[in-house]
């Protein structure tokens, strides 16, 4: 054993910078966050241990509960719609026969995944502006009397964050599903044909069950990602929508960086971490037991 370790010293030397990097820029900040959450914040940094006080303050701040609630609603919306909706284009892509057309559709629906949130919000600010395309069309066909101000209406705030996130990811998720569908042996569908199964039966009894493991994977990725929503909601945040879409991650940023309340913000960050670990843990257990049954 010792001999093997000695023989491989070079490999340890190679991995050392990577492990050192993770320690310095991930584990150490994490520990720092937990440390700061137990400290009283002074102007120049932490000034002393105060135990659970910051956490007590976190849970007695109504804005925190609002932020937790916003995070959960937005995460639920993104996770449910973002997991299920991409099944449609994935199955649809299977039917498209000229290869160039299929690739064209793939490219078009996948592209938003590569765009930054700044660009996405910019694009939709233009299309959904009160004088923009969507409002003009809706007014033209008489569906609405006055233009809807999508980005400054509390009613639309959460649907906008959820909708644009789903739109950004739909192509990505659809391609994951498509790859899974392509691994399905054509023999099975042929056998179903011989048995006289119609298309809806084939989708329900063959395609969807085959897709199920991947749906669970996408569900978990989406859930984890949406619980830490920051960029999207941050860029759509304004005076009128703040109370609907200020997520817990945004709250920690505003309190910690803009208001220098490091203790409270760090405690809120730890709460966010614990909440997301708990939810994803439960989700993992639930999807796993389902898989075994």
Distance CA 238, CA 236 (A): 6
Question: Beta-carbon neighbour count of residue 36 at 10 Å?
Answer: 22
Q: Measured from the CB atom, is 66 or 129 closer to other proteins?
A: 129
Residue list 24-63, contact with other proteins (CB under 8 A): 24-30, 32-33, 36
Among 84, 94, 148, 212, binds other proteins (CB under 8 A): 94
Tell me: does residue 115 bind other proteins (CB under 8 A).
Answer: yes
Tell me: does residue 20 bind other proteins (CB under 8 A).
Answer: no
> What three-state secondary structure class fits 47?
strand
Is residue 223 within 8 A of residue 75, CB to CB? The reply is yes
The 270-289 contact track toward other proteins, x by CB under 8 A, reads --xx--xx------------
156, β-bridge pairs = none
Nearest partner of 81 among 280, 178, 226, judged by Cα: 226
Question: What size, in residues, is the chain?
Answer: 293
Residue list 198-217, contact with other proteins (CB under 8 A): 198-199, 202-203, 213-214, 217
Query: Least distance in Å: CB of 186 to other proteins?
Result: 8
Among 107, 144, 205, 285, binds other proteins (CB under 8 A): 107
Q: Which residue has the tokens 């109504």?
A: 62
CA distances from 261 to 71, 72, 107 (A): 21, 24, 45
Q: Measured from the CB atom, is 124 or 156 closer to other proteins?
A: 124
DSSP class of residue 48 equals E
Tell me: does residue 124 bind other proteins (CB under 8 A).
Answer: yes
Q: Identify which range of 57-65, 75-83, 128-136, 148-156 contacts other proteins by CB under 8 A.
A: 128-136
Query: Least distance in Å: CB of 234 to other proteins?
Result: 8
> What three-state secondary structure class fits 41?
strand
Residue list 156-195, contact with other proteins (CB under 8 A): 167, 170-172, 175-176, 179-180, 183, 186, 189, 193
Among 63, 72, 80, 117, binds other proteins (CB under 8 A): 117
């Amino acid at each position: 054993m010792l001999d093997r370790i000695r023989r491989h010293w070079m490999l340890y030397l190679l991995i050392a910078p990577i492990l050192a990097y993770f320690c310095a820029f991930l584990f150490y900040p994490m520990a720092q966050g937990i440390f700061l959450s137990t400290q009283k914040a002074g102007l120049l940094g932490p000034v002393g241990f105060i135990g659970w006080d910051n956490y007590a303050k976190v849970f007695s701040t109504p804005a925190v509960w609002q932020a937790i609630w916003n995070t959960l609603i937005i995460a639920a919306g993104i996770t449910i719609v973002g997991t299920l909706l991409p099944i449609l284009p994935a199955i649809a892509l299977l039917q498209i026969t000229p290869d160039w057309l299929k690739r064209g559709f793939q490219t078009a629906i996948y592209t938003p995944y590569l765009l930054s949130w700044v660009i996405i919000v910019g694009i939709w600010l233009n299309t959904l502006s009160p004088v923009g395309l969507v409002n003009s069309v809706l007014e033209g066909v008489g569906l609405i009397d006055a233009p809807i101000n999508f980005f400054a209406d509390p009613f639309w705030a959460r649907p906008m964050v959820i909708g644009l996130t789903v739109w950004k990811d739909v192509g990505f998720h659809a391609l994951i599903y498509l790859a899974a569908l392509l691994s399905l042996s054509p023999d099975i569908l042929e056998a179903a044909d011989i048995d006289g199964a119609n298309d809806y039966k084939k989708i329900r009894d063959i395609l969807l069950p085959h897709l199920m493991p991947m749906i669970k994977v996408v569900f978990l990725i989406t859930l984890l990602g949406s619980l830490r929503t920051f960029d999207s909601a941050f860029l759509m945040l304004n005076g009128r929508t703040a109370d609907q879409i200020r997520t817990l991650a945004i709250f920690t940023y505003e309190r910690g960086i803009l208001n220098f309340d490091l203790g409270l913000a760090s405690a809120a960050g730890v709460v966010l971490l614990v909440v997301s670990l708990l939810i994803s843990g439960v989700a993992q257990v639930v999807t796993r037991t389902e898989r075994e049954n």
